[in-house]
Structure 1
Amino acid sequence: MNAFECLGHDIYAVDAGYVRPLLAAIHLVVENGRVAIVDTGSKGALERTLDALKILRLTAASVDYVMLTHVHLDHAGGAGQMMQAFPQARLVVHPRGAPHMIDPSRLLAGVTAVYGAAEVVRLYGKILPIEEQRIILATHGSRVDLAGRELLCLDTPGHARHHVCVRDGRSGNIFTGDIFGLSYRELDTDGRQFIFPTTTPVQFDPAAMHASLDLLMGLRPSALYLTHYSEVREVAAKAARLHGLIEKHVSIARSERNAGDERYPRIRAGLVDLLLDEVRRFGCRLSPTRVLELFATDLDLNAQGLVVWLDTQS
């Protein structure tokens, strides 16, 4: 994929410029000259989004909605800047996520505890608050009207309790944030796309993740738009694979339940083996070293998420 690409149905992917090329996508939905933006990236993403609008011969005044799948900063860090730049826009966000957009201090404190203050500034820049009166709560089944085009919000926990997906009424396809995992374009092989789950450091819930996948598949989309990274096809087969991989994540965690301080490194090592086995099964020709470079942060976060999840189990 390119840094800006048309996916059909007047849906466009914009590389958010987060960490490396083709890691995080911003998606634009365009209808009769009006725009909805799904996820915002973080530092530097506004400029890339404005460039995409120029290519489409649209302006900041064309943006009616900024929609967040959830408020993790690689998805929502740029929301405050975009809401300043798009004065007519409303922010659409899960009710659990809205307070963190109004006052991002707790969100910043949490991510700073994980990465450190200097790294947060490097990755995300300045996180700006958003006025409460500009926020629409994305409850399950709520609908946003984009110039007559329906965008349906779906409550989809499992990765985070404040996670929503957005179903596009024209195409029937769905913007999935992180609930449908990761599909990095570097691993594409012979026209096929790799898939791998993503947990989260504090809110991984495997039962909810399974249910959310089933909800999405019940709507029979022909394609899904992931934040990491953009369009995937053959979605039923990928969903089945994700169900199995979620259970393998759980099994790895449970096997290290009693490992004490060694839980995290042992779980991460198990995830490395799982990832490399999946890549070999898939037939990807990237070297193991390159695969582990691409997934380094994800392996860290998945292992952290599983450790926290273990602590919630009786």
Structure 2
Amino acid sequence: MQQIDQLAEKIFLIDNFDMKMKERTGTYVLAEENLTIIETSASPSIPFIIDGLKKLNFSLSDIKYIIVTHIHLDHAGGAGLLLEQCPNATVVVHPKGARHLINPAKLIKGAKAVYGEQFDELFHPILPIPENKILIMDDKDELHIGKECTLTFYHTPGHAYHHFSIYHSVVNGMFTGDTAGVRYPELYKDGVELYLPSTSPNQFNPEETLESIKLYESMKLDYIFFGHYGMSATPAKVYQQIHTWLPIFLNEAEEAYQQSTLMSEQIKATKERLSIKVTEHLQSLGIGLNHPVYNILALDISVCSMGLIDYLQKKYEAVKHL
């Protein structure tokens, strides 16, 4: 069943059913004079986006801008496939991500290395985007999409080097992709707000994450719009939880890293340690072990553990060469 939520007067959220999961990854629709969407998810999500746009009474030829916060495949993998059906659209991307959308060979190779036989089901096809259909937005660049609506782009590394966030002037909100972490709407329905850092490989950097969070804080935002998933009207809680959980993630990964020299064992131990920490926290808030959120958390914690150990390996390798 298609899910579309109206978050503000001209802002809608389409559920992409990424990885066949409800409320996992979403596409934001900005219904301004220049119709704009933010995030495409992977190619298997494109039919859900198209269906959602039809339900909102928009045609694909209406789309002017397709914005991706970064080029990870769960945010931008479907951009090429969608663009094929949007004759008047341009894809907006970070300067460090543009070449990988034009030639996605490295993205495909990297994803196949991680996902193996699951690649086709999760991501196929990943289509190249013509260079003349790419619009690069640098730090603090602006894009006017309506008479009263301007989007401003900010470099926000931490999750990835090729990541920007998009400030929406009308609602005083920021589309943060993965930089501000992950929101769990399944828990929100039970009165629990949980926001966890997204530390996936291979460009995670905690110092840069905190600098990006500091930027958000300085702007006194009213709303944060997450890549995963939905909107928070309590940005202060988002920042507080990232500040709380990021040191926990790093400390647990450090303990696991020091206990073994095998990367696979380090990742496994990190996953186990983080799972215990998050589960204990949720149980203290009355969330039982039968709650469906734990299936989603298991996936996220697994990917986060890979990124944390990758970060620590690079960190200690750099120390060796000093």
TM-score range, shorter chain: over 0.9
Cα distance change on mapping 1:59 and 1:284 into 2, 3 Å: farther
| One-letter identity of the residue aligned with 2:185 | R
Counterpart of 1:119 in structure 2 is 118
Greater mean deviation of Cα atoms: 226-235 or 44-53: 44-53
**Cα pair distance change 1:289/1:29, threshold 3 Å:** closer
1:62-87 CA distance string (max 9 Å, x none): 11100001111111111001111111
Find 2:297's aligned residue among 268, 274, 295: 295
C-alpha contact (below 8 Å) 1:187/1:286 kept by paired residues:
no
Q: Structure 1's 139 and 285: CA in aligned 2 closer, same or farther, altered over 3 A?
A: same
Query: Percent sequence identity over matched residues?
Result: 28
Give the match for residue 274 of structure 1.
277
Give the whole-Å Cα distance in 2 for the aligned partners of 1:2 and 1:210: 35
Gaps of 5+ in 1: none
Whole-Å separation in 1 of the counterparts to 2:6 and 2:288? 27
| Structure 2 residues without counterparts, runs of 5 or longer | none
Shift of 1:284: 4.6
Distance 1:231 1:243, change over 3 A: same
Instruction: Give the Cα separation in 1 of the matches to 2:4 and 2:90.
Output: 24
The 5 Å alignment of 1:215-294 reads 215-258=215-258, 259-261=260-262, 262-281=265-284, 283-287=285-289, 290-294=292-296
Amino acid in the other structure paired with 2:65: Y
Deviates more, 1:272-281 or 1:75-84: 272-281
Deviation, structure 1 residue 192: 4.1
Q: CA deviation at 1:133?
A: 1.3
How far 1:263 moved relative to its partner? Answer: 1.4
- Listed one character per residue, the Cα deviations across residues 258-297 of structure 1 (whole Å, up to 9, x for unaligned) are 321131111111111121123234x252426744312122
Contact 1:159 1:209 in 2 (8 A): yes
Partner of 2:134: 135
Aligned to 1:160: 160
> Which of 47-56 and 150-159 deviates more?
47-56
What secondary structure is seen at the aligned counterpart in 2 of 1:307?
helix
Aligned partners of 1:268 and 1:162: how far apart in 2? 26
Distance of aligned partners of 1:190 and 1:96 in 2 relative to their CA distance in 1, 3 Å threshold = same
Separation in 2 of the partners of 1:82 and 1:176?
Answer: 22
Q: Which residue of 2 aligns with 1:36?
A: 36
Contact 1:224–1:235 under 8 Å retained in 2:
yes
Tell me the number of residue pairs that the alignment of Structure 1 and Structure 2 aligns.
Answer: 311
Alignment of 1:101-116 (within 5 A): 101-116=101-116
- Distance in 2 between residues matched to 1:275 and 1:2, nearest whole Å: 30
Correspondence 1:11-50 to 2 at 5 A: 11-19=11-19, 20-32=21-33, 34-50=34-50
Alpha-carbon distance between aligned partners in 2 of 1:163 and 1:30, rounded to the nearest angstrom: 23
The offset of 1:217, in angstroms, is 1.6
What is the CA–CA distance in structure 2 between the aligned matches of 1:257 and 1:159, rounded to whole Å?
Answer: 20
Q: Distance in 1 between matches of 2:44 and 2:261?
A: 41
What is the distance in 1 between the residues matched to 2:168 and 2:151? 5
TM-score normalised over the length of structure 1:
0.94
Structure-2 separation of matches of 1:9 and 1:311: 46
| Structure 1 residue 57, shift from structure 2 partner | 2.1
C-alpha distance in structure 2 between counterparts of 1:6 and 1:234, whole Å? 18
